[in-house]
Amino acid sequence: MDAILRIKQVNKYFYDPEKFLVLKSIDLTVNKGEFLSLVGKSGCGKSTLMYVLSTMDTDYEGQLEIAGERLTGKTQNELSAFRNAHIGFVFQFHYLLPEFTVLQNVMIPALKLNKYSRKEIEERAYQKLKMLGIETQANKQSSKLSGGQQQRVAIARALINDPDIIMGDEPTGNLDSYNTNLVFDIFKELTHTYKQTIIAVTHDDEFARKSDHRVEMSDGKIISA
Amino acid sequence: MNGQSLKLCIEIARVHLFSKPKQTIIAMLGVTFGIGMFIALVSLMTGLNNFTEEITMTSSPDIHIYNDVTESRKSILEEENANGINLVYHQKPKNETPKVRNARELVRLIAQDEQVTGASPSVSSQVFYNYGPVQLNGTILGVDIMDEDKLFDIRSRMKVGEIEDLLSNHNGILMGKGLAKKLNAIKGDRVVITTPQGNTITLKIVGLFQMGIGAVDNVRSYANIATVQTILQKDQSYITDVNIKLNDRSRAKKYAVDLKSKFNINAEDWETANATFLTGVIIRNIITYAVSFTLLIVAGFGIYNILNMTIYNKMKDIAILKAMGFSGSDVKNIFMIQSLVIGLVGSVAGLMIGYGLSFLISKAPFDGGDIISLDHFPVNFDPRYYVIGVVFGVATTAIAGYMPSRKAAKIDPIEILRGQ
């Protein structure tokens, strides 16, 4: 299988309150179409690792490569553009823009990418919502939806630019078991049917066990992969 | 930054502005009030300034040449004993006439200069106007009325009669309207005039003029030069004043200095003659700009506060936008656009309110009394101040919006996204 993401010898320090090594010589390769879950105890560095992978955190030592492109050392603006085209995000909270409708929320990253016409983007956004079973909510204010629906909108938004990777930081952390299963099934379907790569940080053991690839961290090191 | 990105930023900014209409309107009102007051104040102040300047200029030439007989002079002692220590107390002026030497030739030479629009020689004298038992102090000005008209546009200020009537009537005078009223005289009446030397002459009123300032209208009459020379019992070369009008009034100061050194005469420019009036103009301008500037700064603080609050409330939105691929400058643009829209719409509304206020002020009745003939406030509707208003308003909001916007651009998304 093709590697979509690769990191080599990543070290990261926290400086506050004192210098502290959070990630210790991490090597990781993620293959295309893989559903990877990142687990570990609180403070083990799993979220920190994910933010390094996400390109939002640039303060690290080592090498990061996504979709064959070396990202270490690029400027913030280059990384913003890269994230826009190649990475989708799903967080514990949905982070939808409350003043916009569901459809507009999904469309914004695509409008930013500016690869398709507005009409096509609207069409694609509608398709993604349909795929996630929430197309009937498309024209509602995003703040009017339930928690599970909002998280599905956030997934649709993460998918709109056909990213190489979807990254999730506790994507089910704020959901009840019904919605957790729903989101999990969506992720599973995305990876198996659409060959979508997903990296999710979670502390839900069941979620992690059911994923394709469980990576466990402890004290800034990967202890089982 | 491509056009599409900017369009998207504008769209997000628009939604932000419309989602909190009350807040947006309050921010705009701050600017509107500031600009509106600026326009109203500046219109009234410059209107007053222009009006007073205009009426002052009607009585004051660009350059006035006269012979200052009270001017201090070198004492004989100093002339004789130039290197010694001389003390002369209370030196009195020499007994000389206030005559400008060789005035006709002077006028001819000055009038040839292309910087000069007109030069008018005149003879002035203090006189008493007698009309029946009434005796009033005043002045009589002997002029070549056609030359004088070039300088002061007397033709348009005639209320009764024509200036040509003076040419055809050797013993005629054009009298100030205020003076005529005091004398209870109308066109065609005769007034007896007494000079300080005790000479008396009877002159006929052939016209009435009104300059608009009491200081002129209540005391002055125009007559032909020869007439005044006759009542003063002087010869034809007796000229006491030469008034000059230039193409460009702002050059008067320098030109007066040139005249002084060239002809060795006493030439006074209008700025020196009206120094108090000009100080008033400067002070009024300072007050206008200080008040308007303060109002705008207050409005600027309002915008700064509101944007700061908006950005604080939208931290999460900003973080997710940045995660999704919006750059720092995109985020900055979103908030700069909001403050610029507030500034522009607020300023334009301010211009309209300012125009409305100015219009109302210009219609308000105002009695200038005897001093100046004025029945309502003079208001200046110069579009230049409206342009200044918009530029001023937009600049203030841009500065006030820049600081919070830059802060928004620098927000680190990780801190917010993982902090919860």
**Parts of chain A with a pLDDT under 50:** none
Chain A positions touching B413 (Cβ under 8 A) are: 56
Q: What is the CATH number of the domain that holds A162?
A: 3.40.50.300
Rounded average pLDDT over B217-235: 89
**Within a domain: A68:** no
**Within a domain: A177:** yes
Using the beta-carbon criterion (under 8 Å), do A56 and B324 form an inter-chain contact?
Answer: no
Nearest C-alpha in B relative to A154 = B320
Question: Structurally, how many domains does chain A consist of?
Answer: 1
* pLDDT of amino acid B182: 87
Of B326, B322, B341, nearest in space to B4 by CA: B326
- How many CA atoms does the CB half-sphere of A9 hold within 13 Å? 3
pLDDT band at B370 (very low <50, low <70, confident <90, very high): low
Rounded average pLDDT over B259-278: 82
* pLDDT of amino acid B420: 47
**Within a domain: A166:** yes
**Within a domain: A99:** yes
* pLDDT of amino acid B174: 92
* pLDDT of amino acid B135: 81
Rounded average pLDDT over B224-245: 88
Instruction: Answer yes or no: is pLDDT of B240 > 60.
Output: yes
- CB nearest to A83's CB, from B323, B329, B414: B323
Chain B positions touching A100 (Cβ under 8 A) are: 15
pLDDT tens per residue across span B97-126: 778 888 888 888 888 888 888 889 999 888
Amino acid, res. B30: G
Of B19, B117, B27, nearest in space to B304 by CA: B27
Give whole-number Cα distances, A82 to A54, A70, A79, A89, A163, in Å. 10, 11, 5, 13, 10
Using the beta-carbon criterion (under 8 Å), do A85 and B325 form an inter-chain contact?
Answer: yes
**Within a domain: A162:** yes
Q: Are B377 and B364 in contact (CB under 8 A)?
A: yes
pLDDT tens per residue across span A29-48: 888 888 888 888 888 888 88
pTM of the model: 0.73
Using the beta-carbon criterion (under 8 Å), do A111 and B15 form an inter-chain contact?
Answer: no
- CB nearest to A92's CB, from B12, B413, B420: B420
Instruction: Answer yes or no: is pLDDT of B405 > 80.
Output: yes
Using the beta-carbon criterion (under 8 Å), do A99 and B320 form an inter-chain contact?
Answer: no
* pLDDT of amino acid A56: 85
List strand residue ranges (DSSP E) for B195-247, in order.
200-209, 220-224, 241-246
Chain A positions touching B315 (Cβ under 8 A) are: none
pLDDT tens per residue across span B3-51: 778 888 888 888 888 888 888 888 888 888 888 888 888 888 888 888 8
CB contacts under 8 A, B 307-346 vs A, are 316-317, 319-330
Selected residue with higher pLDDT from B56 and B150: B150
Domain of A108 in residue numbering reads as 33-61+74-224
Assembly ipTM? 0.88
Q: Which residues contact B241 (CB under 8 A, 6 or more apart)?
A: B64, B65, B66, B100, B121, B122, B123, B124
Q: Which residues contact A35 (CB under 8 A, 6 or more apart)?
A: A187, A188, A191, A197, A198, A200, A211, A212, A213
